[in-house]
Every structure is written in structure tokens, then in C-alpha cells.
Amino acid sequence: MIQTTKKYLNVFFWPSWPNNPYQVLLAHALEPLGVKVEIVPSSNRLLRAGVQEQQPAYLHFHSLYYLFTAPKPFIAWLRSIKALFWLLTLRLSGKTLIWTVHDLQNHDDRNPWVDWFFSFCFSRLAQGIILHSERIQQQFVQRFRIAETRKLYVIPHGHYLECYPNHIQPSEARHSLNLRKDQLTFLFLGLIRPYKGVPELISAFQSLSTESAQLAIAGKPASEEIGNQIRDAIQDDCNIHLWPTYIEEDQIQVYMNAADVVVFPYRRVLTSGSIVLAMSFGRACIAPQEGGIQDVLDSSGAFLYDSRQPIGLAQAMQASIENRELLATMGTYNRQKVQQWSWQDIAQQTHAVYQASVSAGKIL
């Protein structure tokens, strides 16, 4: 009897996101479809993989920023040219380049012209480009002047149901965090970076002048400067609670279940796995009408606001206080909504992108 060896599609994910289960969940869902994924920790490893791989290989990029970032613009330009030459070489050698667009520009606004130029060029090199919503696709086409849209694919962001422990009761969660049980609890959870607007969240909360609500902020500040800025804004406000540290995976459930509503006061956002996480935990949300947020959240599960309005965030928070009796129902709606974004379905769509991208020969 002749034994045949199963052929896999060899895919390399880059860069590695060790603190985000997104890539691991997608990789595991792709495996039954005959896709072997290696999550590559460094660009040098990615280069070796691309050059040494004898079989057709797919290089799947989830960010471009680390290919060109540098403290000085001149060095960033040099790095970008070098990286583009390398990518062109890989493309001409038969490798397939895939790009999932999680952001239209880097969050730190460092070297914006280099960022735009690199993304513009890579959008021509890539054979397949994945975007998480229709609105994001429209913004992408406009920003990078895409004329050929056949290689663009809209695939939603997968859910985080049953990805993290979720067994603690709200009363127990609040007790463990020393939060009052009678107050409505707003939560911000995650790495604190300037673009996420935490100082604006504190200001909006304090403008409410209410004793019926409390604000919980949990996450490690990305810099000493932003950490000090937040502490100065809080001062001695006894209704604001701060945990300025990295939140371990098994502790996410504690903060989520202690909250009535999760707030995303982002100054700029395209797509957000954190919003999908909050929905997966069955929480109502407050978020700006930015990027692809409106393709994920709607008024049945969220209070959406216009970020261009100075008091938009405060108004959304006030609306959640006035509609406190609806928050649990809104959270249940969100949890039910994310069930449609299963990783099995997303893997099938991603696999179809891989197969279709092989024949995309022209550089456009």
C-alpha cells in the first residue's frame, strides 16, 4: 500500500503577539484545513524562512511597523527601502505576501511619512490584503489610493469566547477589587498608551459630578510620562481606582465581571480586539464612532459617540448611567453577537484568501 504524505500550506505569521491570543486562535483553526502556521518572533527569522523555504510559502504580516521603525527619520527611510527591496525579492522568488491590516498608521505617530510610504508600497506588493470590516476597507482604499480591489478581502475579527477563564461572579469580583457594589462601574482595561485617551476618560468621568458611579482603570502605562499624567489627573478622587500593572490572563475575568460597562475612549482607532474581548465577556460598551467600530458595535449593545465633540464621551457615560437598567441586556446582546465570528469560519475565509492569492501575479 502506497502511503501519501499530506501536503500543508506553509504560512509564517509575523510579528509575534505573545500577549494576544489572536494569532494562536487563528493558527489552530487553520490547521485542520491543511495550513501549517509558524509564528515568527523576529524579522531575521522571517527573512530566513522566506529564503530557505523550498516549498511555496506564505508570509502573513499582521503589522509592518517594526520593519522600518527607527528613532530618526533618516534611519527609518533607509530601513524602509531595505525592507521593501527584501520583500520584493521574496515576492519575485515565488513567495506569497499576505497583510492583515489592523491599523492604517502606527499608534505613536512616529515618522508618519515613512509609515504612509511603506504601507503604500506594500499594498502594491501584497497578493492578498485582509481587512476586518467594510468601513475599514473603504478607508484603506482611500488612504492608499487602491485602484485594484480584487485582492482586498473583508474578514471579521474572531471572538474570545471561552478563551479566558470566566467563572467569577460580579459581586465576588467587586469584593476582590475593593469596589463598591452599589455604584455603576466603568472600566478601562489594557495597556495604557497615549492614543487610547485615558486622561480624557478621567476628565469626562469627573465632569459627571456623580456619586452613583466609579471608574476602574487597569493596565500598565506604556511610559512613565503617561503614568504620571494619569496619577496627576486622578489626584485624590476616591471614585477612581487605578491598577497600573500588567493584567494577567486569569485576572481579566475579575475586572470584566466587576464592570457594568467597558469604555474605549480612543483618540483614533481602526479595529479593536479589546472591544471584541469586552463583548465576549458580555459587557456593554462605550466607544467612538471611528474606524470599523460601527461594524462591530451598535446601539443595542453600546453607547457610541462622536469623538470630534469635546463632550461626546461624557455624554455617552451619562447616558449609560441614566440607562443602567439596560446594561445587562446590552451585554447579553453583545455576547450573542460575537458568536457569529467563530475562528472556524474565519479560518475558512483566510484559507480561501491564501488559495486565491497564489494566482495574483501582477504587482499593483
Same domain for 53 and 144, yes or no, is: yes
Per-residue 3-state assignment (H helix, E strand, C coil) for 127-162 = CEEEECCHHHHHHHHHHHCCCCCCCEEECCCCCCCC
**Cα-based distances in Å from 313 to 195, 231, 260:** 15, 20, 16
Q: Is residue 243 part of a domain?
A: yes
Same domain for 223 and 75, yes or no, is: no
Cα-based torsion angle of the residue sequence 177, 182, 188, 191 in order, rounded to the nearest 10 degrees: 0
Q: Is residue 93 part of a domain?
A: yes
Three-state SS at 287 = strand
CA neighbor of 262 nearest in space, from 222, 196, 216, 211: 216
Range of the domain at 204: 170-338
Q: Is residue 362 part of a domain?
A: no
Q: Is residue 47 part of a domain?
A: yes
Same domain for 276 and 127, yes or no, is: no
Same domain for 29 and 153, yes or no, is: yes
Same domain for 348 and 330, yes or no, is: no
Same domain for 346 and 236, yes or no, is: no
pLDDT for the residue 2: 45
Work out the angle between the directed axes of helices 273-280 and 327-338 (0-180°, nearest 10): 110
Same domain for 222 and 349, yes or no, is: no
Same domain for 94 and 48, yes or no, is: yes
Q: Is residue 363 part of a domain?
A: no
* 217 in Cβ contact with 242 (< 8 Å): yes
- DSSP 8-state code for residue 190: S
Same domain for 269 and 203, yes or no, is: yes
pLDDT for the residue 107: 76
Three-state SS at 251 = helix
Q: Is residue 201 part of a domain?
A: yes
pTM metric for this prediction: 0.91
* 153 in Cβ contact with 353 (< 8 Å): yes
Work out the angle between the directed axes of helices 112-125 and 73-92 (0-180°, nearest 10): 0
Same domain for 183 and 325, yes or no, is: yes
Q: Is residue 198 part of a domain?
A: yes
| Distant-in-sequence, close-in-space partners of 257: CB < 8 Å, separation ≥ 6 | 166, 168, 169, 170, 173, 281
The residue type found at 326 is L
Task: Report CA torsion sign: 25, 30, 31, 36.
Answer: negative
CA distance 147 to 51: 30
Render each residue's pLDDT in the chain as its tens digit; 364 residues. Answer: 444 446 788 999 999 988 899 999 999 999 999 999 999 887 666 666 555 555 668 999 999 998 998 889 999 999 999 999 999 999 998 899 999 999 988 877 788 899 999 999 999 999 999 999 999 999 999 999 988 789 999 999 999 999 999 999 999 999 999 999 999 999 999 999 999 999 999 999 999 978 899 999 999 999 999 999 999 999 989 999 999 999 999 999 999 999 999 999 998 888 889 999 999 999 999 999 988 899 999 999 999 999 889 899 999 999 999 999 999 999 999 999 999 999 999 999 999 999 998 755 566 5
Partnered with residue 218 across adjacent β-strands are 189, 243
* 293 in Cβ contact with 272 (< 8 Å): yes
Identify the residue whose cell numbers are 463598591: 180
pLDDT for the residue 126: 95
Same domain for 190 and 150, yes or no, is: no
Per-residue 3-state assignment (H helix, E strand, C coil) for 79-131 = HHHHHHHHHHHHHHCCCEEEEEECCCCCCCCCCHHHHHHHHHHHHHHCCEEEE
pLDDT for the residue 288: 95
Q: Is residue 262 part of a domain?
A: yes
What CATH code is carried by the domain that includes residue 188? Answer: 3.40.50.2000
pLDDT for the residue 291: 83
CA distance 172 to 181: 10
Domain count within the chain:
2
pLDDT for the residue 108: 76
Same domain for 175 and 143, yes or no, is: no
pLDDT for the residue 52: 58
pLDDT for the residue 270: 81
